[in-house]
A and B are shown apart, each in its own frame.
Chain A
Amino acid sequence: MPRNRLYLAGGILAFLLVANFIYYFIMGWGLITVKVHDVPLSKVIKSIEWQGWVKIYSNIDPTARVTMYVDHVSLPEALEALAINVEIPPSAQETTASPPASDGSNGNNPGRRNGGGGFGRGRVQWNLAFFAGSSSSQVRELIRSFEHGDTDDNLKTYNYPTLVNFLQTSTEDDAAPPVADPRQQNWPGLKAQVIPVSTAAAPAPDPAMPPQIGESAPPQQVPPGPPTSVQGYLRAFAQSADIFIVSNSSWDPPVANPPSADSSIISAIRNFVGSNHGSVTQAYVLATRGRGPRNDGGRRGGFAGDWDTAEDRVRNALNGLPEDVRNNALTQLNQEIKFRKDVEAAPPERRASMVEEHMKARMADNLNGGPMARMSPEKRAQRYQRAVENRMAAQGK
């Protein structure tokens, strides 16, 4: 009998231990903790991959140094902090290449993560990415090309900017606003008019500057209309959401039936590629911005002069924000839209000063949030140093 009781006691204790373990496992599931000081990027990527159960591809030198501190944060938060804090050696900034953007997309700004952090943040970007090709071997080749920064003419990247981070979503003045999760975006279905794509190239947009609100849209060089082939639809996916798509232009079979509206952008792309007998790999990309070939949007880059599409894309990206801040972000977006319309209605000579005043006010509001709150102390010190040097220069010291 005593032996039976001993077994029972042991069993109950074991059950409690297992229950405890499961409880903490569930509570911490998918959350990332990285506390590192001056370690190689490859090590941090591996750690995040392991903790977040995701795959991350990068075209940055894996020996680039990282100092970052995140404790039990979501995957987007961790990637945002990583993108802000990775230190690329100056020599590598010039040589690190990115896949070319050959259409009306975001130049060769791979992985430009705007939903929650892409804007005005630095040289490194991250994003949810899809590598789509005719076969798994072609997809592997796409990934390899991306990581090595190849500039194959057939390599296509589709990524359009969204200025979600420009919207101050946090109600707390000293906290980093939450990062939007790109996985929460939807595929709204094909709109009647998709942004046309020209072959004319334009420089990639300056990520530190907002789009030139007062400018009129550039002339459209290709008549609008629904896409007829796979590449056209991949572009349409990228225009509708804040994602990054890499594909090979040689894989461009005609598409008989357009993809129907789906609740999730991820399943929409997967289903579309599958139904066209292709192969797709979903991952995250972490990449440097580079100088890109011209695209059809001029300085505005991926906005391509179509503000309505850009606004829809921002709204889609906002789906990835926590509910408590989403409404605040939507309100701010509506204010920005109203301001843009006010500028367009203003006399041309007034527009520049209106935009400047607006930008100054926004910068003053956003001074402490976003990137600053996620930077490592050393990185922040660099930023402070610039501000001090600027002040000294302005005061003639």
Chain B
Amino acid sequence: MRHSLRHRRRLLAFTLVELLVVLGIIALMTTLALPSAQSMILKARSLQCSTHLKSIGMAASQAATDNNGQYPEIDQAAAPIYPPNSGATNLIGALGPYGITTNTIQCPIDMSSGTSSFKTYGSSYEWNPAFDDESTAAPVYYRSANQPIPVNNTHVRLCTDFLPIHRGKMNAVYGDGHATAH
């Protein structure tokens, strides 16, 4: 009787080899699925980043409306280009009144990276001052003082990531309000 019970238990239980094989298969499948899962996570974060950029674009547009239709003067966080007394300020300073907060200028991927621009420059996003004070209706890029190049608003890149952290590319918001998510 006792012998038969043991035998039955043996038949019902998994052997170590069976368990290891199952675990191995699970581990292999996890390994294979990891890159695509990671890719989906990155894409979701990139979309969130793109939403932040869109908010910045909308705020800039509102600021321009209050500034005779001209883009506001916002200084570069990586290397200031305006003199200290020029009145140019940072993203929060210029667009804070239009709803931009510290949370808006944080890209989720940038915040989780080891080379976070937010930690280095105080913002995950870089404003492009090349179009500051330019009319939103007909912006011009000055390659040289006597070589103005009219630029379509769809090409006016207002704000981008500092680094190509979205799978080797940078998200950006443009003068016409569209934003990219890579």
Contact = CB atoms under 8 A, between A and B. Distances in A.
Given A16-B24, A172-B180, A387-B142, A368 B155 contact: yes
Contacts of A174: 157, 160, 169-172, 174, 180
Contacts of A374: 164
Given A69-B115, A174-B157, A373-B170, A8 B28 contact: no
Contact of A173 (B129, B154, B164, B168): B154
Given A12-B24, A388-B132, A365 B155 contact: yes
Interface stretch (A98-106, A189-197, A258-266, A377-385): A377-385
Given A175-B182, A364-B149, A394-B148, A380 B17 contact: no
A377 B149 contact: no
Nearest to A362: B149
Contacts of A73: 168
Interface of A is mostly: helix
A377 B169 contact: no
Chain A, interface size category, equals 35 or more
Contacts of B128: 384
Interface of B is mostly: mixed
Given A381-B76, A388-B82, A391-B133, A173 B163 contact: no
A367 B121 CA distance: 24
Contacts of A72: 168
Nearest to B160: A174
A390 B164 contact: no
Contacts of B169: 172, 174-176, 373
A381 B79 contact: yes
Nearest to A74: B168
B98 to A, nearest CB: 22
B149 to A, nearest CB: 5
B143 interface: yes
Interface residues of B, number: 55
A390 B144 contact: yes
A322 to B, nearest CB: 13
B145 interface: yes
Nearest to A10: B20
A71 B81 contact: no
A19 B126 CA distance: 41
Given A9-B20, A23-B31, A380-B78, 16 more contacts: A71-B168, A73-B168, A173-B180, A364-B141, A367-B149, A367-B157, A368-B155, A378-B79, A380-B126, A381-B78, A382-B79, A384-B130, A387-B142, A391-B140, A394-B145, A394-B146
Interface of B: 16-17, 20-21, 24, 27-28, 31, 35, 76-79, 81-82, 114-115, 117, 121, 126, 128-130, 132-134, 140-152, 154-155, 157, 160, 162-165, 168-172, 174, 180, 182
22 contacts: A12-B21, A71-B168, A173-B155, A174-B170, A174-B171, A174-B180, A364-B141, A365-B155, A373-B164, A373-B170, A377-B79, A377-B117, A377-B163, A380-B78, A384-B129, A385-B76, A387-B141, A387-B142, A388-B81, A390-B142, A390-B145, A394-B142
